[in-house]
Structure 1
Amino acid sequence: VVVIRILVETLSQARAITRRDVYYRDVRLFSRQTAVDGVIDDLSYSLGLPCYELGVIASQKGLIFGDLRMEFANPGLIPVIPEKAKIFLDDDINAPHRLEYILVVEKEAVFKTLVDLETGRDGEGVSHNRIIVTGKGFPDQLTKRCIRNLATSFPQVPIFAFVDSDVYGLMILRHYSNQNEQNSHIPLIRYMGVELFDYLSGWLEITMRDFRVMKNFLVSLSHFLYANRRAATEHCRWLREIQRGMFCFKKSEMNVVLNKSVQDIDEYVNEKVKRYFQN
């Protein structure tokens, strides 16, 4: 009853609240976070509504950068790179300039490097008609919904993903393609790199634990591909990359490029995107 009262109060004020905030409203009553989570999940299931429609959101995690204009419904739900970036959940989105592609990167370090190059350290700026998003590893629901909303707002704009060429990078990529919320559209995200054979000099050894995880991932990926036939061709590239790593007992990370030069990683991304549009 207390949880329902808090949610009704939040919705009546057109605000949002995190699960953690609900817990801290009455710590003595709830005693533990799992008690709050269970009630919220039961309410969501019973009413047939996703949690965000009950006014409950996850703690913010993801980052986005781009030249966008938005009309906010629930502002400030994901951290903002100042000035040029705007964050949204279910907001109306439009791009003032021609948007060519949406770029999803696995790591925050890569995201910050690309943003630094985009804005220009010397103040002159680098002009790219793209939006850059990162979930800082495995994405939370807000970041996944952000990608979904971008795909809905710009249906003709391709979404490219750059993750490490290892089992964990590809698991993160698959996570972006999973939607747990009801009636959620799953956008097609194209795996662009890093590919194992891109950096022969930057290979890293995988461990036996990595190998076992890769083996299990192959099995689960086969079921995932069967359930997502719309993107079967794209997902087969994931299989190929995992099999390459298992055969060579190697992996490759984007940090290898980043350690050489910050410009190298931008050139790598641009070259991959250029090849896609030329094909």
Structure 2
Amino acid sequence: MADQFLEVDKLRDTLRESLEMDDKRQEDISRQDVLTRIERVIQTIVISVSKGEAPVLRLMNRCNWSNVRFHESVGLVVRKADVPVTTLRCDCPLSATRFALILKLLSVIYKLVQSDSYATKRDIYYNDPQLFGSQKNLDSVLDDISCMLKVPRRSLHVVRACFATSKGLISGDLCYLEEDGTKVDCSSSSTAVPVSSNVNGIRNIVSAAKFILIVEKDATFQRLLSDDFCTRLSPCIIITGKGVPDVNSRLMVRKLWDTLHVPVFALVDADPYGIEIMCIYKYGSRAMAFEAHSLTVPSVLWLGLLPSDIQRYRVPEETLIPFSQADESKLNSLRSRDYISCQPAWEREIETMQRLKQKAEIQSLASIAPHFLTRVYLPNKLRYGGWI
């Protein structure tokens, strides 16, 4: 088994050399900078009121593709110029509530940053639940403010509740300390650890992992655990965001990549939605493009399930799923994106999927043999470099 990671070791060494040559990190915005940016917003409002005009706030539409551009070494980032905006007017019934929410939160954030103190989203919400309506609404407004001020969410001094649980799970050769000093050991082969709700506070990361494996679905993740994947193929780390990942799962992958400088692979279904989920980890999303530097890992490699693997491993026809109209639309959308067109190998796989008009879930490999995924497919891929 000594040479089972032959190609992974070569990839890891190449990656570390590259990172040593170009070790750029995004600096946290200073407290004074955040205060200054809030003051500018308020000053604009005051000037409008002094002129007898209805104050307005201009926000970037975070779900509009025209507001982002592709940067090869970062992912999807916000355009700096000619960005379409949404205008919120205080005298318009449709936007007055959102306008008020933003001003309320700006006031809270200003006081927190000024006093160098922190508050949880839960604290803020229950201070005036009638105004915010829901915690989900509060979270959306916080993202709008972060984008408007062009500062990372962590610089707003609003944190998730200390007892809030993350969506993701993690397991493998990894130990670390939470911000409060709690030691977390992820090395149990039978159970997984919830991803930290305060990833930025994690310290003293200790791991001998040779690679990190992102797993799309919880079902596949649990299968890897039950088959003792991390024990038999150790040292490694596996993590899942249980489908479309939450921010904490993405932060954790980025934190581990920054710290360990090891290859990061993705194991997703051979369908358009699996590819999109992988691209969120690798290149980010439209809605969070303003925080791309802390959320994306552009070096993520597609380990499987590749569309070409369906024929290569002769996956039984009865386990394949015909394309739907939604699948066709999603695949066409993916093909039009810059981060796909710049990768010929990915384009070829997508063309294969479109030609087959079929998709396959990772679980379909079990139809070849019960333990085919963990004892044949993944070990061979990692040993011989079967990734793109």
TM-score of the pair, normalised by structure 1? 0.77
Match of residue 51 from structure 2: none
Cα offset, 1:81, TM superposition: 9.0
- Stretches of structure 1 that go unaligned for 5 or more consecutive residues are 227-231
1:198 partner SS: helix
Q: In structure 2, how many angstroms separate the alpha carbons of the residues matched to 1:14 and 1:109?
A: 40
1:177 partner SS: helix
2:213 partner SS: strand
Q: Tell me the number of residue pairs that the alignment of Structure 1 and Structure 2 aligns.
A: 260
Q: In structure 1, how many angstroms separate the alpha carbons of the residues matched to 2:346 and 2:119?
A: 37
* Aligned alpha-carbon RMSD (Å): 3.6
Q: In structure 1, how many angstroms separate the alpha carbons of the residues matched to 2:112 and 2:175?
A: 30
**Equivalent AA in structure 1 for residue 331 of structure 2:** M
**CA displacement 1:64-113 (0-9 Å, x = unmatched):** 1122121222789xxx89777474412225335x3211111100001011
Match of residue 247 from structure 2: 141
Match of residue 347 from structure 2: 239
Q: How does 1:16-55 map to 2 (within 5 A)?
A: 17-18=120-121, 22-33=124-135, 36-37=138-139, 39-45=141-147, 47-54=149-156, 55=158
Cα offset, 1:145, TM superposition: 0.9
Q: How does 1:105-254 map to 2 (within 5 A)?
A: 105-118=215-228, 126=232, 128-155=234-261, 157-179=262-284, 180=289, 181=291, 183-184=293-294, 186-199=297-310, 200=314, 201=316, 202-220=319-337, 223-225=338-340, 232=342, 235-254=343-362
Cα offset, 1:10, TM superposition: 11
2:283 partner SS: coil
Mark the CA change 1:276 to 1:9 in structure 2 (over 3 Å): closer, same or farther: same
Cα offset, 1:143, TM superposition: 0.9
Cα offset, 1:5, TM superposition: 7.1
Q: In structure 2, how many angstroms separate the alpha carbons of the residues matched to 1:164 and 1:253?
A: 5
Match of residue 172 from structure 2: 66
**Equivalent AA in structure 2 for residue 128 of structure 1:** S
**CA displacement 1:16-42 (0-9 Å, x = unmatched):** 634x66434422232355653454235
Cα offset, 1:275, TM superposition: 1.2
Cα offset, 1:115, TM superposition: 1.3
Task: Report which structure shows greater RCO (CA 8 Å, sep ≥6).
Answer: 2
Match of residue 44 from structure 2: none
Mark the CA change 1:182 to 1:113 in structure 2 (over 3 Å): closer, same or farther: closer
- On the 8 A contact 1:257/1:264 being kept in 2, the answer is yes
**Equivalent AA in structure 1 for residue 334 of structure 2:** F
| 2:203 is the alignment partner of 1:92 | yes
Q: In structure 1, how many angstroms separate the alpha carbons of the residues matched to 2:360 and 2:328?
A: 14
Cα offset, 1:131, TM superposition: 0.1
Q: In structure 2, how many angstroms separate the alpha carbons of the residues matched to 1:214 and 1:198?
A: 18
Q: In structure 1, how many angstroms separate the alpha carbons of the residues matched to 2:136 and 2:192?
A: 38
Match of residue 378 from structure 2: 269
TM-score of the pair, normalised by structure 2? 0.57
Which of these two proteins has the greater Rg computed from alpha carbons? 2
